[in-house]
Amino acid sequence: MSKVFVLDIYKRPLDPIHPAQARLLLRNKKAAVFKRFPFTIILKKLIVKFPEPLRIKFDPGAKTTGIAIVNDLTGEIVFAAELQHRGFAIRESLTSRRQLRRGRRARKTRYRKPRFVNRKGSDGWLAPSLMSRVENIETWFYKLRALAPIKFVSVELVRFDTQLMQNPEIQGKEYQQGTLAGYETREYLLEKFGRKCAYCDKQNVPLQIEHIHPRSKGGSNRISNLTLSCEKCNVKKGTTNIRDFLKKDPSKLEKILRESKKPLADTAAVNATRWKVYEIFKNSLLPVETGSGGLTKFNRSQQGLEKTHWIDAACVGKSTPEKLTVRLRSPLALSEAEGLIIQGVKPLLITANGHGNRQMCGTDKFGFPSRHRTKKQIHFGFQTGDIIKAVVTSGKKVGKYVGRVSCRATGSFDIATKAGRIAGISYKYCSAIHKKDGYSYGA
């Protein structure tokens, strides 16, 4: 399990501790709860102690970013999280808004000639759907830096090193030449073709890199001419032209040719934001280490770890310890769990929800006004999205309820709990556990 963050009386981060120690401090009233997500306690007495430096690692993705805090000296994973982005949701919202405005403009005005490039974007401008990913990473970097003694940063800067190495010493002008190779090529193709044979769709079998247009007939090593196949299909195809090999299956032929030329949308999103993310870490004045997706996979494979976002984050960069561990309670437990000692980590699941929108007038599917909302969002000290605890002492709904609240101006709230939605709870019974911050949390 992940450690509990600890702050001293001046809110300076100390060494994270085991949850059992945190419970003991809270029970003895030597500490108080400072933050629920991620769980953090604050001590009530001053302790003079120099904490061990930790390294925070990020594996940025288009949909999910892995986060891990690692102790370089011991190889211990102190904290892990997976951050779900909302970039694609933002893109869809912007598309919907554009369609509504265009429809309204067409109904209410005469024809207006289209105007293009009438506004110049600032240097380094990124689309809102991409900037949301960057800002999510920035938010959590500074949040965790305030809670743990983080002194180093590692980030996977490129998902695929697109100019890697016929020559492993490639540098300078040579880096602008060459093709994908090795781990980078394989990882790119695995992502592109869904980790299955392009010809027979077999999964969970050894896959080989295969030339769509055979090299013996003039085919190149360009990434657009490569695909993945199982050994049986690779041998069967041999040097046959793909159009002859798949002439009885034209749909499969069309699909392979289309996929071979199609760029990865997720990879494009990561590549577009990588330098913005890098600038955030450089501006923090901490030493920054970068790595590629191929190196991350190599580190993970060397330790025999499964592929998850937070494990990928823990394996980013050359600084990755030879053995990543979770500090267990006894040497006996360590020996019993040999090879599985990383399984003790339970990542915090973070989902970016945003803070709502500024649209005051809702529309139906045809773009006509259908509802309106007020500017007031806070009612009786609560707003929709807060995590609250309600202790109902009278009426038909006596009991304790914990969950995310939906507020109304009348003071009658709904609470979304694990057991379901509880409606009609008065604000008088409610107390806040975690104020809305634009994210939701799970385990």
The per-residue pLDDT for range 28-67, each reduced to its tens digit, is: 999 999 998 899 999 999 888 889 999 999 999 888 999 9
Arithmetic mean of pLDDT over the chain? 82
CATH assignment of the domain containing 177: 1.10.30
Q: How are strands ordered across the β-sheet holding 348-352?
A: 288-292, 150-158, 54-59, 64-70, 77-84, 348-352, 439-442
Specify the CATH number for the domain of residue 437: 2.30.30
Out of 51, 66, 91, pick the residue that ends a domain. Answer: 51
pLDDT value for 183: 55
In a domain, 405, yes or no: yes
Domain boundary among 264, 294, 322: 264
Q: Residue 18: beta bridge partners? A: none
Q: What is the pLDDT of residue 27?
A: 95
**Containing structural domain, residue 15:** 1-51
Select, from the ranges 97-106, 138-147, 317-326, 364-373, the one with the highest average predicted confidence (pLDDT): 138-147
Is residue 60 in a domain? no
pTM, two decimal places = 0.74
Give residue-wise pLDDT tens across range 267-298: 777 778 888 999 999 999 999 999 888 788 88
Q: How many domains does the chain have?
A: 3
Q: Do the domain assignments include residue 82?
A: no
Asked which of 117-126, 284-293, 329-338 is least confident by mean pLDDT, the reply is: 329-338
Judged by average pLDDT, the poorest of 70-79, 115-124, 222-231, 353-362 is 115-124
Domain membership flag for residue 44? yes
pLDDT at 174 over 80: no
Q: Which residue has the higher pLDDT, 80 or 203?
A: 80
